[in-house]
Amino acid sequence: MLSAEDWSAIRLTLLLATVSTLILLVLGTPLAWWLAHTRSRLRGAIHALIALPLVLPPTVLGFYLLVALGPHGWIGGLMQRLGLSLLPFSFAGLVVASVLYSLPFVVQPLQNTFGALDGKLLEAAATLHASPQDRFWHIIVPLSRAGFLTAAVLGFAHTLGEFGVVLMIGGNIPGQTRVVSVQIYNHVEAMEYAQAHWLAGAMLVFSFLVLLALYARPHAGALFAQGAARHD
Amino acid sequence: MTDATAATAALTLDVRLARADFALEIALALPAHGITAICGASGAGKTTLLRLIAGLESGAQGRIEFAGQCWQDSARAQFLPAHRRPIGYVFQEPRLFPHLTVRQNIDFARHRALDAAARRADPAPVLQLLGIEHLLERAPHTLSGGEQSRVAIARALAGAPRLLLMDEPLAALDAARRAEILPWLERLCAQSRIPILYVSHAHDEVARLADTIVLLERGKLRAHGAAQDMLARLDLSTARGADAGVFIPAVLVEHDAADCLSRFSFAGGELFVPLAAPPAKAHQRIRIAARDVSLALERPQHSSIANQIACTVTELAEADSPAHVLVRLDAGGTPLLARITRRAARTLALRPGLAVWAQVKAVALLD
């Protein structure tokens, strides 16, 4: 069965995925809105940059993060001068890495949703005296519910599954950076196959259930189906 | 614009907008009361003008002022965003919020009214005015096109606008739906105390609703004035086309219940209108289409046509077809239009100043 260390890894993984997903939604929303509506020439470059984690080996992202955030990196050096503790091998460092690593999984569905949103409704809301902020919360968010749900689930599930970036930037510190995927690796290294089975199986079932919750909804796949926008 | 019109005007604007394929340049003062129809061919800039007034078009140069409040002034880099202008806007499509019920759509507008008292106001009169009380719990997509249009108009009114902008609110509807909703619109226009700008290129709508007409041509102001005069001006496109015609403000004199005929008087004489019952109001607009008016040099005797009006020819002009001409007539100060054949005009030797009798084959009440 699961050991205390396994449970610690599970708690840490869920915490990491939750915190990362919340940050991703806050960062991803304006970014996705900008990508969906900008006519800037930078759009293509920014889009490609965000999509990089889809194709890069996680170790590459992890390596650059380690270098940048480390004591000799430009971010790490700056943080040291400001008296802040360094991010590598800390939970905060894992969060930073996860956010970058899962960004495309959050931005892409939001961008699709925002692109399909009928701008005419926002104009109508403006003529009904709704401020930009008001329009965001009362028109954009409810009409983009399906997109936000997809973004949150994919961001959460993808963070659960990260390994390479974690190993590069977080190491293997129990209770701080040792997440489930790393713990499974530890079990296998130590030839504890029974333990590895329990954890891997739990991860498999949980991830499946999370994705099932997303795709089993009616109109799943069509991110801006009429039905998804209604209060049913 | 003169100082006199500017003083009583609700809306004064002097705007320029340059686009790659289109330029708009309009200076105008519009009255604080009544319905102003904005007419013109498609591409004349009607919708753009309305969007400019609403603050939905960025990049316009010039000034817009409403009731002493500056809405935008490019010289002083001022621009009041759309959501802070006390307007209501009815778009060509209903644009109802799909995630809200009809009631929630109305309340969305009511709770955001710029006037605090209007936020607490009872929405019932507006719902009743547009006949949508029974639709409140429905989702927008379950409504018919006409119902959606009525909800959109009610929603715009629920926001307690001080200026109502309507961009062809009936354009998306077929003839039957238009006929269904026009009476609601008329009631709205009659009861409304706020000025309404109404974009339309449907002659019947304009004749029924408008007090003032603004005619645009390729982004410029072609002419504007009282609707009755504008519709009878032969130099304007508003008076051309197969549905050319005028309306005459008239007062009910008596109703003959046996013959179902109402007698009205107007500045140039009298008109008989077949009506099953006497009209509710004594003051009416009577529409006379140019094609329903024929001319005779002497008063026709033994004619089945009851409406015969003594007039003077004031002007002749080309009509929409090469076989016809349009004749502008003056009946005691009231302008009339007649659409007759070119041959008839020649046979009668029609010329300005000639006294003629106009026979009106059909008249209809507008209000």
CB pair distance less than 8 Å for A129 and B139: no
Task: Say yes or no: B193 and B267 in one domain.
Answer: no
On whether ipTM exceeds 0.90, the answer is no
The mean predicted confidence, pLDDT, of chain B is 88
Do B165 and B64 meet the contact criterion of CB atoms below 8 Å apart? no
pLDDT digits (tens, 9 = 90+) for B176-203: 777 777 777 777 777 778 899 999 877 7
pLDDT digits (tens, 9 = 90+) for B206-264: 888 888 999 999 999 999 998 888 888 888 877 666 778 888 889 999 999 999 999 99
Where in the sequence is the domain holding B306, given as residue range(s)? Answer: 245-365
Q: Are strands B283-289 and B61-66 parallel, antiparallel or unpaired?
A: unpaired
pLDDT reported for residue B367: 60
Interface A–B counts its CB contacts (< 8 A) at 70
pLDDT reported for residue B131: 87
CB pair distance less than 8 Å for B112 and A129: yes
CATH assignment at residue B292? 2.40.50.100
Task: Say yes or no: B233 and B115 in one domain.
Answer: yes
Nearest to A127 among B88, B100, B113 (CB): B88
Tell me what the mean pLDDT of segment B123-128 comes to: 88
**A111, containing H or E segment:** helix A91-116
**Is residue B27 over pLDDT 70?**
yes
Percent of chain B having pLDDT more than 90?
54
B89 contacts chain A (CB < 8 A): yes
Task: Say yes or no: B19 and B161 in one domain.
Answer: yes
Per the model's pLDDT, the better-predicted residue between B32 and B25 turns out to be B25
C-alpha A77: how far from chain center:
26
pLDDT digits (tens, 9 = 90+) for B44-54: 999 999 999 99
B310 contacts chain A (CB < 8 A): no
**Is residue B1 over pLDDT 60?**
no
B171 contacts chain A (CB < 8 A): no
Where in the sequence is the domain holding A57, given as residue range(s)? Answer: 4-229
pLDDT digits (tens, 9 = 90+) for B85-109: 999 999 999 999 999 999 999 999 9
For residue B83, the chain A residues in CB contact (below 8 A) are: 125-132, 134
Backbone angles phi, psi at A88, to 5 degrees: -60, 145
CA–CA distance, B123 with B158 (Å, rounded to integer): 7
Which two three-digit tokens encode residue B177? 């739906």
**Which of the listed residues B202, B221, B239 is the one where a domain comes to its end?**
B239
Which residue, among A181, A204, A203, A185, has the nearest Cα to A193 in the 3D structure? Answer: A185
pLDDT reported for residue A222: 47
Which two three-digit tokens encode residue B355? 């006294």
CATH assignment at residue A51? 1.10.3720.10
Predicted TM-score (pTM) of the model is 0.81
Domain count, chain A: 1
Give me the DSSP letters along B312-329. EEEEEEE-SSTTEEEEEE
pLDDT reported for residue A229: 36
Plot region of B216 (φ>0 → left; ψ -120 to 50 → alpha; else → beta)? beta
Task: Say yes or no: B198 and B279 in one domain.
Answer: no
Give me the helices (H) in chain B, please. Answer: 3-8, 46-54, 102-110, 116-119, 124-129, 145-158, 175-191, 203-209, 227-231, 342-347
Plot region of B332 (φ>0 → left; ψ -120 to 50 → alpha; else → beta)? left
**Which of the listed residues B184, B217, B239 is the one where a domain comes to its end?**
B239
Task: Say yes or no: B299 and B150 in one domain.
Answer: no
Percent of chain A having pLDDT more than 70?
94
Q: Binning pLDDT at 50, 70 and 90, where does residue B12 land?
A: very high
Q: Binning pLDDT at 50, 70 and 90, where does residue B11 land?
A: very high
Tell me what the mean pLDDT of segment A203-213 comes to: 91
CB pair distance less than 8 Å for A126 and B91: no
Task: Say yes or no: B73 and B176 in one domain.
Answer: yes
Tell me what the mean pLDDT of segment B123-145 comes to: 91
Task: Say yes or no: B267 and B173 in one domain.
Answer: no
Which two three-digit tokens encode residue A105? 């999984």
**Which of the listed residues B216, B239, B262 is the one where a domain comes to its end?**
B239
Plot region of B359 (φ>0 → left; ψ -120 to 50 → alpha; else → beta)? beta
B108 contacts chain A (CB < 8 A): yes
Task: Say yes or no: B221 and B270 in one domain.
Answer: no
Task: Say yes or no: B205 and B131 in one domain.
Answer: yes
CB pair distance less than 8 Å for A124 and B91: yes
Give me the DSSP letters along A148-160. HHHHHHHHHHHHH
Percent of chain A having pLDDT more than 90?
67
Backbone angles phi, psi at A30, to 5 degrees: -65, -35
CA–CA distance, A201 with B127 (Å, rounded to integer): 59
**Is residue B114 over pLDDT 60?**
yes
Task: Say yes or no: B112 and B157 in one domain.
Answer: yes
CB pair distance less than 8 Å for A130 and B83: yes
CA–CA distance, B199 with B222 (Å, rounded to integer): 15
pLDDT digits (tens, 9 = 90+) for A4-56: 889 999 999 999 999 999 999 999 999 999 999 999 999 999 999 999 998 99
Task: Say yes or no: B125 and B168 in one domain.
Answer: yes
Largest Cα–Cα distance in chain A?
67
CB pair distance less than 8 Å for B95 and A131: no
Which two three-digit tokens encode residue B217? 């041509």
CB pair distance less than 8 Å for B82 and A134: no
Task: Say yes or no: B209 and B300 in one domain.
Answer: no
CA–CA distance, A85 with A117 (Å, rounded to integer): 43
pLDDT digits (tens, 9 = 90+) for A131-144: 999 999 999 999 99
CA triple A214-A220-A224, angle to 5 deg: 115
Per the model's pLDDT, the better-predicted residue between B138 and A211 turns out to be B138
pLDDT reported for residue B244: 85
3-state secondary structure of B100: coil
Give me the DSSP letters along B106-140. HHHHHTT-SSHHHHTS-SHHHHHHTT-GGGTTS-G
CATH assignment at residue B7? 3.40.50.300
Q: Binning pLDDT at 50, 70 and 90, where does residue A1 land?
A: confident
The mean predicted confidence, pLDDT, of chain A is 89
Domain count, chain B: 2
